[in-house]
Amino acid sequence: MAIFSGDGIIEEAEAIASGVPADNVLNAAPAQAVEHNEIMRCGTLIAWSREPGRDDCADLLRQTMSEREAADEKRTRLSEECLNQAA
């Protein structure tokens, strides 16, 4: 099983998208689901890389995770702004 296999992520994103009524939010919901999965997987990989003492890898993964968290926060703000405009 590949760590970054896309099958489950795509299925989850489609399930999320099916329950979102607003078109402008609908576009952001699947992408945000992917971000959440990437953040979770980075956390796991950080733990795995620290076990054999690969702090260099853990540092790079922490940087990637921080970037994914920033993207997630941006998507949240955009979705909230779209929802507020629609209200």
Q: Name the helix (H) or strand (E) containing 10.
A: helix 7-18
| Domain-embedded: residue 29 | yes
Query: How high is the pLDDT of residue 87?
Result: 47
Give the Å distances, CA to CA, from 55 to 13, 47, 61: 32, 10, 10
**Could you report the per-residue pLDDT of 25-79, keeping only the tens digit for each?**
556 677 778 888 889 999 999 999 999 999 999 999 999 999 999 988 988 888 7
Per-residue confidence band for 23, with pLDDT thresholds at 50, 70 and 90: low
Residue 12 lies in a domain: yes
3 within domain boundaries: no
pLDDT surpasses 80 at 85: no
User: If DSSP codes are grouped into helix, strand and coil, which group holds residue 3?
Assistant: coil
Q: Domain of 21: which CATH number?
A: 1.20.1260.10
Query: Does the residue 15 lie in any domain?
Result: yes
Residue 81 has pLDDT above 90, yes or no: no
Global model pTM greater than 0.85? no
